[in-house]
Amino acid sequence: EPDQRWRWVKNGYELLRDKGIPLNPQSIALYRELARIFQHKIGGVTDDAHKYYKLQLALAMESAIGKLGLADNRYFDALAKAPSNWLQMVKDANVAPLITALKSSDDVFADDDKFVSNYLSLRQNPARFKPDAFKVIDDFRGTEALKRFDVFARAYHLRKVWKLDPALMCELNKMYGPVDWNDPNRHLPLDWRHPDSHAIYWAVKGLQAAGKEQYSVEETNTDRIVAHSLQNLFRNGKIFIYNVPTETSNGPQATGHEIFLRPDLRMFEPYNKSVLAIIEKYKGQRSYESLCNGHRNMLKNAVLSFYQAGHISQAQKIYNQLRHLYPRDEFKVPLVAYARNRLREELQSIGINDAKEIIQMLLRESYFRYALRDDDEAASREKMAKEVYDHYQAEYSDENRIDLPDFKLLRYFALLDFLNDQQYPPNLRRNLLGRIKIERPKLAEQLEQQERKFQKQLEQSR
């Protein structure tokens, strides 16, 4: 069962984090293994229950840091400055009335050791407590007392339960967080719901603990964990958690969750800077050449990713860096020609006979993004699907051309694939149809026309 397997994984990282490292605080190997659990066991895809692991971590961290922790670095500054122990908070004259009121509202708040965890549970699930308890929250809503205690509670929980130092989290946000599209000099917070953010944290803690002038194999491998986790955040750093109605044996429907991970182009700059720093660090070492090869391949993929997403100026900037650092004949052509060549290479490696599947996969992903209101990425997938289609139509002569259906028909098939794909929640699929009809009536009309045409062809073939 996934929940039992999750307990094993959770017990594993807690044992390393809470027992092993405190007993061996200078052992970079322990930090590296802890980081690897987050990066590979939870963040990877080799375990059948990996999506369940990701969901449990994401929900736990969402509860721990709150919604402000997903978007605002100032919130992490406040967490870092929050008092570190309970007695400091109790003595705060502004907050004391809130604590007293909660203790009077429900007996569960009588135990000081569990007060913070019960408070966070109350904010997440009020139904578990007496009505008077949440009435206290309502009475103090908007007050400085509640704001201060809420920040303290979350910082306290991060320090005591997750063993995460908000000050280091804040530092990592500003160093490795996704770049704000509106201000390239500003970093947004890392998504601490993502396992690779935790992998980065513990890898950095290990590098801090090492403190050696000579670079060991363990240190090199730990540096690689930081780089690979940033790469993972670039490739699959966007988290979407969607509510899903689930059937119960008796009573009303319960609500479950599904988690989806998708690329986050905002992570390119932190990833690129980190890899360049690591390459410089190991200049002259045995690992230098392999690091450079990895960086070159990453830049090649990033150029195509940004180009296909419609971020042409950023694609050109990355392409210029690629040509400067790794001069090769294949990089001497203009950006547009290079992007087309790269696309052609990828398509040839996949195989001509898979053209229809590639196009429908891209279109289905486009519909998924559109259903989640990730509109820029939806448009880029649709644009890429059309580029692939046009490539095959232009590449092969009429007598040898692969027999591709009309693009409108492929788009219709992709919509059917998405609507019938059981891995996506039913309400997400229904919402997509509603959104297309309201916001893209022209597309809705084209799809309806294609459906009528297709049904007519089916009837004629019987």
Q: How confident is the model at residue 250 (pLDDT cuts 50, 70, 90)?
A: low
**What's the chain's average pLDDT?**
86
Give residue 400's pLDDT.
Answer: 45
**Residue 18 and residue 10 in contact, taking contact as beta carbons nearer than 8 Å:** no
Residue type, 110: A
pLDDT above 50 for 401: no
For residues 98-113, average pLDDT: 94
Question: Does the pLDDT of residue 211 top 50, yes or no?
Answer: yes
**pLDDT tens track for 133-184:** 999 999 999 999 999 999 999 999 999 999 999 999 999 999 999 998 778 7
Look at residues 242, 243, 226, 244 and name the one whose alpha carbon lies nearest to residue 234: 226
Angstrom distance (rounded) from CA 57 to CA 193 = 6
Task: Report in angstroms the alpha-carbon separations of 110 from 96, 116, 368.
Answer: 14, 11, 47
Amino acid in the structure at residue 280: E
272 vs 410, more confident: 272
pLDDT of residue 397: 47
* Per-residue pLDDT at 218: 74
The contacts of residue 294 (CB under 8 Å, 6+ apart) are 227, 275
Opening angle at CA 429, ends 6 and 51, nearest 5: 15
Q: What is the pLDDT of residues 51-97, one digit of tens each?
A: 999 999 999 999 899 877 778 899 999 999 999 999 999 899 999 99
Is residue 177 within 8 Å of 170, Cβ to Cβ?
Answer: no
Mean pLDDT of 241-265: 71
For residue 276, CA distances in Å to 134, 203, 273, 292, 293 come to: 50, 17, 5, 9, 12
- Cα–Cα dist 272/107, whole Å: 52
